[in-house]
Structure formats: C-alpha cells, structure tokens
Structure 1
C-alpha cells in the first residue's frame, strides 16, 4: 500500500530518504553514501521528498503509469516492463534495445491521456517527466491522485527549488545531468532494483565521459530548434540545451534565456547567427516542422532564415525529441553532437 502527503512549505530539490541516509539534491551528484544503500536493497516504508511533495511507499509499486516517454524508458531500462500498466506522451520510437520490453506496455495516448484513462488502469504510482501533467489543465494535480491512494513521482530534472519548471515556474540555475542520475537512483530505490539502478547510472556516466574526452572546439556556437516553424521553440540556457551544449564544448547562442524551450522570433535566431543548428527530428507530427526534413525545407526556402551561415553551409545536426529533453537519451544527444562537429571539422 502507498500513500502521498502534502509537505508544508516549499522544499528544495528532490531528496531521497533511505532510512536515516539522505541522498543528494537535484543539482548535486548522486553521492557514494546514497549508492552504498543499494547493497542491502530498499527498506520500506521508503519516503521520497519529491519536488515539494512527500511520498511514502510501504512496498514496491506493482502498477505504474508513466506519463512521458522519458520516464517510461528509464523504467524499461530498470527491467520494470511488467510493472508498467500504461504509458503516454511519445515524441519518438522507443530505443531499439528497449523495443521488446516496450511491446507489452499499453499505450494510453500518444500525447497526454485524460485522468479517467489513467485511473482506469488502477495504478499505485504515476510518474512524469514534466510537471505540466500534474497541474490544473493537465492530466491531474498530484493531490487528486493522492485522494485515490495513488502515489506520484516527478522527475528531478523538472524541479527547481521545490517547484516544477514545466508546471509554470522558472529555473533559477542551469540543469545538470546529475538530476537525471538522481531520478534513476530514486526510481530504482522505489522499486527495489537498486543494483540495476547503480549499474545503469555507471553506464551512462562512462558513456558521457567517453563522448566528451579530449573534445576541443574553437568558438563554435549552436542553436537548438525543437519544433514549430512560426514561433520556433529554441533551447534556452538553463534546460536540456545547456547540458548538451556545455558537454559538447560549444556555446548556446540563447544561453541568456532561462526558459527550457522559449518561443522566439526568427529574427532573433538570425541575429545570433549560430555556427551550427541542432534540429529536432520528431515523429509525433504535432507542430508544423516537427520532422527534420520539414525544418530544412523551411530554413532553406525562407528569405530570412536562409541568410544564416549554418543554413548556407548546411551545418545541421539531427537529434530526436527525446534527446533534446532531459532523459537517458541526453547521452545519445551529446554523442551525436560531438560526432557531428568532428565530421564538420569544427572540433578535434
């Protein structure tokens, strides 16, 4: 049995409590102390301080609904496919190595499902990568899930000072990849698969280190275009784009904008004239220009955007939507950017 309770006041970034041991905050790296608890497994009841909420688990969840692709792929990577009774909000095909496990997972909706559809699955836990699902006008507020004894969990990558960024708040400091590692560690503890969680974090850290080792760039600037041709959603300086740009040793030309993906005018993109354009290749077909091919067609035919040096020189790097969001695919995104820059002769 699980229950969720409101915490009085605003908490700082999510903190995992394992008995008397407290793990890191959202902007900190997962500590050796927290990792050491994996040897003995999870002790229940387990209390998780999660983005302004206190959630207590009396046992490992058996029926989880994941409201986002990013959250689902973490659960699948932890070997929890048999616990997932629903998934939603997908931008891309599932990772190849997770396809077999995902085949048995019910897709509740390609985008956000309704509250009724979610509760019909009788979940004991609902997870989300983005807090927009947990606010009024989204799927349901976390308090509404708590009323039915359904626990909820929001990714620390969407939490800043105890508040959800995509739930309508602002980041006060740049996102780091450590928040992703924290999410994996916390979910592993909740489901009592701590060893797999530690192994998975180690795998991602190793890949990130390998991708960024001895990478040298000289004055390379980038802009990250997620979607929409009219008012493009461009990666700002505090979200996932910051993680990608800094890891690859480049400068995000919109680093001065704190929003994750603010809608901007094309004139501002042209004025900042990035060396390289990182283009989202989304299969969801939700906005005009979701596909990379459509983005290129627009960039090269529009009289304003076609003047950019990145367009003239066809300096494009393509990332899936999930690679442009904070997720386990962040590492894939860094690997692709580093490889793309080398192919263009912009790094060594």
Structure 2
C-alpha cells in the first residue's frame, strides 16, 4: 500500500544556493528587495533567498494547496498529477491552469526535473528525491539552484513521528518569509487557529469518541498509531485513538488487536488521488475493519468517514480536516 512517508534521512549539506537578482538593462543589478535576503532552516539545512521564488515546482497535493492558500498560484510553474483527488473550494480551477510535469503524484524523473529550471521545490516527503528511484536528489537540485523545502519537517522516519500541528504554522510562516508575503501567512495562521479554537470549544466536555484510523487490510491491518498527524487530528477533533498505545504513525496491527479495540467510529484513508493503482476503495476498507471488529459499536452502526489521504500529510489541509472529523464524531456539537 502506497503511503508517502519520509523514508530517507537527509545528510547534512551546504546551504542552498541563493537566487540571483536579474540584471537590469545596462548591466546594473536590480535593487535588493525589501525584507531580503531571507534564511530559513529546513531538514537541518539553511536555505537562503535573495528574492522571492518565481518559478516553483510542487509535489504531492498538500504542497500545491498550501501555496494556493497563500495566494501564490502565479509563482507555480509546474505540478504533479492528482486529478482525482478532492479539491478545496476554488483550487481545482487553479490546478488545471498549472502545467503538469508528472503524470503521477511523484515529481518527474531526474532529467525532466532538472530541465524545469525551477528556483524552488515544495513537497511533503523525501520519496521524490530518492536517487534509487531515478529522481534528482536534494543535493543535485541545490547544485542546480533549486532549493528544496519539505513540509512538516518530514525529513526522515523519526521526524514523521515527531510532527506536531504547530509545525504547519511554522511552515506557513517560513513560506511567507520566503515569498515575501508574511502578512498573508500571519492572517492564514490566525484564521486556522481560530478554526481550531472553535472546534475545541464545541467538543470540550464531551465524551471522546473511540476512533480507529485504518488504511485497510484483513490482518495485519494497516492503521495509525499514537504518533504523527492522524493521531493528533483525532485528539483535536474530540476523539481518542484506540491505537494510541501503539508506537508509530502508519503501522501494521494484528486483527486480534483491532477486534479488541472496540472502536466507535472509523477514519478510512481515501486514496482517490492515486490514478491507475489497484487499490481497495474506502467502503471496501471500512468493510474489512467492520468484519474484524464485528461486535464493535462502529461495526454495528457502520460508522466511518473517508478521510482524503492528502489530509494525513503535512500541509494546510490537515488543519482544515480537524473540523471535518469533529463534525463526524460530534455532529450535535455543530447543529444549528
């Protein structure tokens, strides 16, 4: 089962090359832009920018929609394909206008990627920078003048487990600085914090709903343990992860443990974003879990929510998804 987790650790490397100011007619360099240069740390590397990136390539869906949320569509020169994914309001139209450079959710192969001449790459994990897979590495892109930023600090397996929702706020602020739109970033952070505060007030004092977050399987079951994004979203939404004691984020759990957990509701990873993959549907994965935990309240009520897998990766969407999960778990808290 394909899940975009950070499978490779970044070795320490030299600071990314700073973008150079374009020459003015007559050979004079353009005047420095206010607020620059900017230096940001990501994955143990320092990225320095003398001006905002103007030719950006984005990887998997959450990377693109995070930049769109910051009003940066005009900076994006290329994106990957996730045409079957559910889009946030108004973003599908922007997606369609951006040139497609890969027909999968992954960045293109090395030669195609380097030929883009991008001055910035934003992605959610290290999988698209694996030399063994034929991709341009982070070091190769840096050498070509294309700094790479990984959302959520998902730079290696340990960082995936250490992720907190606050890391998304850090990403938004960092991107605001990189693109010279810190005011937009701060406004977006305030809006998202307000949304989470509203959810917290609505679910406060209510009995947490026991939730199993699953990605299918008849045993072992692909599920989400007590670390990482999914576990945090469940907690913030007024739920309790029945696998909170299981170490890890995306992991395998025995059918016996799932049966004993007695979940009251399921979150099911929805892979509609992956074209051409022979993967079970969300209803099929829910049915597998209900069959295993057939005596559970969730199975008796057939209660599940298909959660877009894009929300289970770092980016703007996972903050929005908390409200969706809360409405599913505590509908009466949002009535009226």
TM range (shorter): 0.7 to 0.9
Is the Cα–Cα contact under 8 Å of residues 160 and 228 in structure 2 kept in the other structure? Answer: no
Instruction: Give the corresponding residue for 2:128.
Output: 133
Partners of 1:310 and 1:344 in 2: how far apart?
18
Partners of 2:213 and 2:122 in 1: how far apart?
27
Residue 45 (structure 1) shift: 1.8
Instruction: Give the corresponding residue for 1:120.
Output: 115
1:240 aligned to which of 229, 240, 254: 229
Q: Please tell me whether residue 266 in structure 1 is matched to residue 259 in structure 2.
A: no
Aligned residues: 299
List per-residue Cα deviations over 1:58-92 (Å, max 9, x = no partner). 21111111112111101111121121122226372
Flag structure 2 segments of 5+ consecutive residues without an equivalent: 1-11, 16-32
Is the Cα–Cα contact under 8 Å of residues 315 and 344 in structure 1 kept in the other structure? Answer: no
Residue 129 (structure 1) shift: 1.0
- What is the Cα-based RMSD across aligned positions, in Å? 2.7
SS of 1:117 mapped into structure 2: helix
Partners of 2:114 and 2:172 in 1: how far apart?
25
SS of 2:324 mapped into structure 1: helix
Instruction: Give the corresponding residue for 1:101.
Output: 94
SS of 1:198 mapped into structure 2: helix
Distance verdict in 2 for CA 1:63–1:179, change over 3 Å: same
List per-residue Cα deviations over 1:208-242 (Å, max 9, x = no partner). 11122131332522111135566543122121112
Is the Cα–Cα contact under 8 Å of residues 180 and 328 in structure 1 kept in the other structure? Answer: yes
Is the Cα–Cα contact under 8 Å of residues 69 and 316 in structure 2 kept in the other structure? Answer: no
Distance verdict in 2 for CA 1:331–1:54, change over 3 Å: closer
Q: Please tell me whether residue 332 in structure 1 is matched to residue 323 in structure 2.
A: no
Instruction: Give the corresponding residue for 1:184.
Output: 172
Is the Cα–Cα contact under 8 Å of residues 271 and 308 in structure 2 kept in the other structure? Answer: yes
SS of 1:109 mapped into structure 2: coil
Instruction: Give the corresponding residue for 1:17.
Output: none
Q: Normalised by the size of structure 1, how large is the TM-score?
A: 0.77
Distance verdict in 2 for CA 1:202–1:229, change over 3 Å: farther
Partners of 2:36 and 2:149 in 1: how far apart?
17
Is the Cα–Cα contact under 8 Å of residues 219 and 253 in structure 2 kept in the other structure? Answer: no
Alignment map for 1:57-72 (pairs within 5 Å): 57-72=49-64
Q: Please tell me whether residue 292 in structure 1 is matched to residue 282 in structure 2.
A: yes
Residue 116 (structure 1) shift: 2.3
Partners of 1:237 and 1:342 in 2: how far apart?
21
Flag structure 1 segments of 5+ consecutive residues without an equivalent: 9-40
Residue 171 (structure 1) shift: 4.3
SS of 1:263 mapped into structure 2: strand
